[in-house]
Each structure stands twice: as C-alpha cells, then as structure tokens.
C-alpha cells in the first residue's frame, strides 16, 4: 500500500438506506459496525469515505430480493428483478418512509452524519469528520406527473434524481438487464420527463442518467443546462450491458463537463457480464483507465452501488476502498488524478449543479 490510501472518498451511489426502510430485507443500523452489506458509519470511516449520494429506491410490491448472504454466487440470472412499473401512490409511501428513516439515522448519529445540500456543506462536514449524505431518488415515481410535490421534496433535502430506474414510468423508460445488449431499448422522455429535466435544472437538482435508456439520454443531453451525470455506470465497450455507456455517450458527458461514477457491480464490469464476485481489481481499473484515456480524468469517479449490487470480493465493502485506490495508483494514475477520481470530480459537478 502507498500513501495514496489516505485519499478521501466521495461516492456517487449507494443503496444502504434500503436496509432501513425495506421490511423484506434484513434490517441493520447504519451507525453500528456490521459484517453484513457494504456501508455503515464505522466502515465508511475506515475506508476514508466522507460522503456520498444515498439513494431511496422503490421496489415493486412483488419484487423478490436475492439472499443477501449469498454474495459469492456465480449465477448470472437476474430474473428475480421485476421490471413492472410501480404505482405513484406506492412510490410516495415508500419514499416518504425512506426519508423519515434517513432523517432519524442522522438524528441518532450524534453529529457524526449529516444531510448535505451544497458542496460547501459537504466540505465543511469533511473538515469536522462528519459523513455527508446527499439525498437521491433512484427513479422518479414518487414525484407527481405535474411536478406538484417536487418543491416539497426539494425542501426536504432532495438534490439528485434518477429519472427512471430500470423500468418505465411517467417520465421515461429505463434499460433492462439483458446481456449482452444495447442501451437503446425504447422511446425517449415523455413531455412530463422533459418538464422534470427543466424543473430540476431550475431548482438545482442533479439529474442521474444511470438507468435511463439511450433515447432518453439524448433527450436530456439536448434539454439540460447542467453537466451530464451517470452516477453508477460503466463502459459498454468493456462490458456490453445495456446499463453501460457507449463511447458516444461518454463523449457527450465529457462535452458537458460531466462525470461517470464507475459502478462496482461485477455484472457491469466483467466482459462476460456474469454475477461472479471473483473479479480482480484489474477488471475495475480497466474502466477507469478507459474513460480517463478517452475523455479525460476529470470525467471519471466512484459510483460503487454499495448495498445494491454484488461487488468484487477483493474490495469486500467500503473499508476496502483503499485497495482500489492503490490499484489505480499502480496503473499509473498520479496523486492529483486520484484526488479528482476519489472526490474532486464529484465536487466540481455538484458545485456546477446544486444551488447554494
Ligand atoms: Zn442503480
């Protein structure tokens, strides 16, 4: 290990809140060290993580969850994921419960964790050793089609929205999980989707394109005034999953001064698309290297998908982040490059997008 392991980390995507508001999943506190899952406050501190986007996502009422203990499975079957639409009422109820849990965790943290709504707040919290959580919706089903409740969610702290998860909603269409496949899986944004983009621009809410299909991506590219962001996606040339970004999409993200958070999900990293956690660090590093070489180191960052995906065993959990930073350093990234990848690029894009 080198000195570089001390580089602090801001992460573009986790699903750790799921464990606090989804009764079908084993519940655990994010404030107590655990061996289960990927993130809790003590392990975040061990891994150098000072902040990240914390997602609230809404499972379909009939969704089957995989066995969380079965992390070593090599099964590539993703048929357990139901891609049927969810009703707005169900989405609102789950989302509101998620926000309540999110706030109660922060209240119970004794000042060790805080909700952040600006870059200034994130960096100030970092100085004080406080973990910053930026509230993100993974899929916009809880937002009214006419955007009536968007201002209310903004007031509650919402600063990042994925227009869709991997399914259809009133705003657009998400990619599904078939492998191999193109992200061009259906129609673009609806009128409501285009209104949502403009309204998020106006309020200073970041738009996440990670699960959006390709036509929707290009609609956002045409409409949005903010940098383009995929919080947890990888490179399609290296792993032809519909969840990954084509070279043309990467070029557009660079042209907008945006960023890609590299997803640690093995099925989006591996050339064979398999859900095999025996995946070496080199396979992860290749995605960072590809983006840095093609569009520049200013446009690649971390988007782990911790607690939402099967990740390489070698990383294990958030406490394993220094191993990835060390592997990136061994691949030739400089200290200055790694400061950008690990947190600086996220601060730039959030700074250009959120309003103080
Ligand atoms: Zn996701």
331-346 confidence digits (pLDDT tens)? 999 999 999 999 999 9
Distance in Å, CA 200 to ligand 1 centroid:
20
Distance in Å, CA 233 to ligand 1 centroid:
8
Summarize pLDDT for 53-63 with one digit per residue, the tens.
Answer: 999 999 887 77
For residues 139 and 56, give the distance between their C-alpha atoms in angstroms, rounded to a whole number: 9
CATH classification of the domain holding 205 = 3.20.20.140
With H, G, I as helix, E, B as strand and everything else as coil, classify residue 62: coil
Q: What are phi and psi of 138, to 5 degrees?
A: -95, 90
Let me know if residue 296 belongs to a domain: yes
For residues 280 and 105, give the distance between their C-alpha atoms in angstroms, rounded to a whole number: 34
Distance in Å, CA 300 to ligand 1 centroid:
17
pTM, 2 dp: 0.95
Let me know if residue 16 belongs to a domain: yes
71 exposure class (CB count in 10 Å sphere: 0-12, 13-18, 19+) = middle
Q: What are phi and psi of 285, to 5 degrees?
A: -55, -35
Which distant-in-sequence residues (6+ apart) come within 8 Å of 127 by Cβ?
none
Domain around 94: 6-353
Give the chain's domain count.
1
Let me know if residue 272 belongs to a domain: yes
Question: Are 134 and 12 a contacting pair, CB within 8 Å?
Answer: no
Let me know if residue 197 belongs to a domain: yes
For residues 286 and 324, give the distance between their C-alpha atoms in angstroms, rounded to a whole number: 12
Distance in Å, CA 263 to ligand 1 centroid:
9
Of 79 and 353, the one with more pLDDT: 353
pLDDT-based confidence at 82, cuts 50/70/90? Answer: low
Distance in Å, CA 163 to ligand 1 centroid:
11
Distance in Å, CA 316 to ligand 1 centroid:
19
Let me know if residue 181 belongs to a domain: yes
Distance in Å, CA 1 to ligand 1 centroid:
31
Distance in Å, CA 235 to ligand 1 centroid:
15
- Asked if pLDDT for residue 67 goes beyond 80, the answer is no
Whether omega for the bond prior to residue 137 falls within 30 degrees of 0, making it cis, is no
The residue assigned the tokens 């490179």 is: 235
109 exposure class (CB count in 10 Å sphere: 0-12, 13-18, 19+) = middle
Could you give the C-alpha distances from 209 to 215, 260, 299, 306, 346, in angstroms and in order? Answer: 11, 10, 14, 18, 15
Question: Are 55 and 308 a contacting pair, CB within 8 Å?
Answer: yes
Average pLDDT of the residues in 106-120? 97
With H, G, I as helix, E, B as strand and everything else as coil, classify residue 49: strand
Distance in Å, CA 22 to ligand 1 centroid:
16
Of 2 and 295, the one with more pLDDT: 295
Let me know if residue 269 belongs to a domain: yes
Distance in Å, CA 241 to ligand 1 centroid:
13
CA angle 327, 319, 80 (to 5 degrees): 95
Residue 223: enclosing H or E segment and its boundaries? helix 214-223
**pLDDT for residue 55:** 98
Q: Which of 166, 239, 157 is nearest to 204 (CA)?
A: 157
With H, G, I as helix, E, B as strand and everything else as coil, classify residue 173: strand
Distance in Å, CA 26 to ligand 1 centroid:
19
Summarize pLDDT for 147-161 with one digit per residue, the tens.
Answer: 999 999 999 999 999
Q: Specify the pairing of strand 9-14 against strand 300-302.
A: unpaired
Let me know if residue 121 belongs to a domain: yes
Question: Are 308 and 255 a contacting pair, CB within 8 Å?
Answer: no
For residues 264 and 316, give the distance between their C-alpha atoms in angstroms, rounded to a whole number: 11
Residue 133: enclosing H or E segment and its boundaries? strand 131-138
With H, G, I as helix, E, B as strand and everything else as coil, classify residue 321: helix
Distance in Å, CA 138 to ligand 1 centroid:
7
Let me know if residue 1 belongs to a domain: no
- Asked if pLDDT for residue 205 goes beyond 80, the answer is yes
């Amino acid at each position: 290990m080198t000195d570089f392991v001390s580089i602090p980390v801001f992460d573009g995507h986790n699903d750790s809140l799921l464990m606090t508001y989804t009764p079908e999943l084993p519940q655990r506190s994010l404030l107590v060290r655990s061996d289960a899952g990927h993130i809790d406050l003590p392990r975040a501190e061990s891994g150098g993580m000072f902040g990240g986007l914390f997602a609230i996502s809404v499972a379909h009422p009939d969704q089957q969850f995989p066995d969380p203990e079965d992390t070593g499975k090599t099964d590539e079957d993703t048929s357990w994921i139901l891609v049927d639409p969810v009703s707005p009422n169900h989405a609102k109820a789950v989302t509101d419960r998620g926000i309540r849990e999110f706030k109660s965790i922060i209240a119970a943290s004794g000042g060790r964790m805080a909700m952040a709504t600006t870059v200034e707040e994130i960096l100030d919290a970092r100085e004080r050793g406080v973990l910053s959580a930026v509230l993100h919706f993974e899929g916009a089903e809880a937002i009214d089609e006419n955007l009536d409740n968007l201002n209310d969610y903004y007031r509650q702290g919402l600063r990042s929205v994925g227009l869709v998860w991997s399914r259809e909603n009133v705003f657009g269409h998400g990619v599904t999980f078939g492998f191999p496949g193109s992200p061009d899986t259906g129609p673009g944004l609806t009128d409501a989707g285009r209104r949502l983009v403009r309204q998020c621009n106006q309020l200073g809410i970041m738009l996440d394109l990670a699960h959006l299909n390709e036509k929707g991506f290009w609609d956002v590219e045409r409409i949005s005034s903010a940098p383009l962001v995929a919080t947890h996606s990888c490179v399609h040339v290296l792993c032809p999953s519909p969840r990954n970004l084509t070279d043309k999409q990467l070029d557009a993200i660079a042209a907008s001064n945006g960023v890609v958070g590299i997803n640690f999900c093995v099925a989006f990293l591996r050339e064979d698309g398999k859900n095999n956690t025996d995946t070496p660090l080199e396979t992860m590093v290749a995605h960072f290297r590809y983006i840095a070489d093609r569009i520049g180191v200013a446009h690649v960052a971390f988007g782990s998908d911790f607690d939402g995906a099967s990740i390489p065993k070698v990383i294990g959990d958030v406490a394993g982040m220094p191993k990835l930073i060390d592997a990136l350093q061994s691949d030739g990234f400089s200290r200055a490059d790694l400061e950008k990848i690990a947190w600086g690029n996220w601060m730039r894009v959030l700074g250009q997008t959120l309003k103080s």
